[in-house]
Structure 1
């Protein structure tokens, strides 16, 4: 699978990450996610954002607490007799700090395994750069998640 924004990601990965840069990137990822799911604190269960001509984007609420939300965000591709999630991200969203922590990210486009130079910071940088570009891609395609009652009000109200 090839994403159209992969060349932009590769350029960003050539730069040297800093802790401040990583925090800025985590804040940007939070802002992008809030564009996809502005009422994230009110969402429950599994949701799908459907856009004509694009894969459905799936969001699963794994945990809701007063200050954090843990989610799974993915696409599902037909694979054999089943389906394969790619990218497949588990994210913890800190609403008070307006940050996102990547708990797990599996994807087949960029290597995000450990590297000899700056293993911890560099890997977090790579993962968050990928997440940033993917979230931007989803926002640009018009994906959006809304609480079910809001959707029903718009459709039938």
Structure 2
């Protein structure tokens, strides 16, 4: 397996402006990282969670599964999951994976504690770069911690188990 290339470590990107090509490279890297987190991404359905001892559960909701794309929502839930609010999602990412192009597009990202979008005066390319950079670091963190969603014949078991309805309340993207 090829070692991941981290385009955000490039000196030009740290001190300059990202290009469309570097953004596409980052989206490809995000697709590979998402594939490590969810190896059966093309085949997984419904709402799931994965348990990683000593960490919060990570929730996944597959919103749409098409021949060439998969749209998912990925989040942690903080707080009382059984209470009326049902927990606080943070970060809350809506992603579309393009299997033919092997890219991931961030449709929505809501990290309230770490705002990545600055405002209308910033170029769109810079905003896309920031959200994809955040996603790259988060996906890398999740994989390093040992999170993994498995496709299993039955939707039960300790890893990649079916959620008890908590994650399924995320019916649409941001």
What range describes the TM-score normalised by the shorter chain of this pair? 0.7 to 0.9
Q: Does structure 1 conserve the Cα–Cα contact (< 8 Å) formed by 2:116 and 2:127?
A: no
- Provide the rounded CA distance (Å) in 1 between the counterparts of 2:71 and 2:147: 19
- Provide the rounded CA distance (Å) in 2 between the counterparts of 1:152 and 1:85: 23
- Provide the rounded CA distance (Å) in 1 between the counterparts of 2:14 and 2:51: 30
SS of residue matched to 2:53: coil
Q: CA shift at 1:111, angstroms?
A: 3.1
- Provide the rounded CA distance (Å) in 1 between the counterparts of 2:96 and 2:102: 11
Q: Does structure 2 conserve the Cα–Cα contact (< 8 Å) formed by 1:13 and 1:126?
A: no
Number of matched pairs:
145
Q: TM-score, normalised by structure 2?
A: 0.75
Please state if 1:97 is matched with 2:101: yes
Q: Does structure 2 conserve the Cα–Cα contact (< 8 Å) formed by 1:89 and 1:104?
A: yes
* Structure 1: tracts of 5 or more residues without a match: 1-7
* C-alpha spacing 1:15/1:137, structure 2 compared with 1 (3 Å): farther
Q: CA shift at 1:98, angstroms?
A: 0.1
- Provide the rounded CA distance (Å) in 1 between the counterparts of 2:146 and 2:137: 14
Q: 2:79 — aligned with what?
A: 78
Q: 2:115 — aligned with what?
A: 110
- Provide the rounded CA distance (Å) in 2 between the counterparts of 1:102 and 1:13: 21
Structure with bigger strand share is 1
Structure with bigger helix share is 1
SS of residue matched to 2:63: strand
Q: 2:151 — aligned with what?
A: 147
Q: TM-score, normalised by structure 1?
A: 0.83
Q: Does structure 1 conserve the Cα–Cα contact (< 8 Å) formed by 2:70 and 2:98?
A: yes
Q: 2:140 — aligned with what?
A: 136
RMSD: 2.6
- Provide the rounded CA distance (Å) in 2 between the counterparts of 1:104 and 1:95: 19
Q: CA shift at 1:113, angstroms?
A: 3.4
SS of residue matched to 1:124: helix
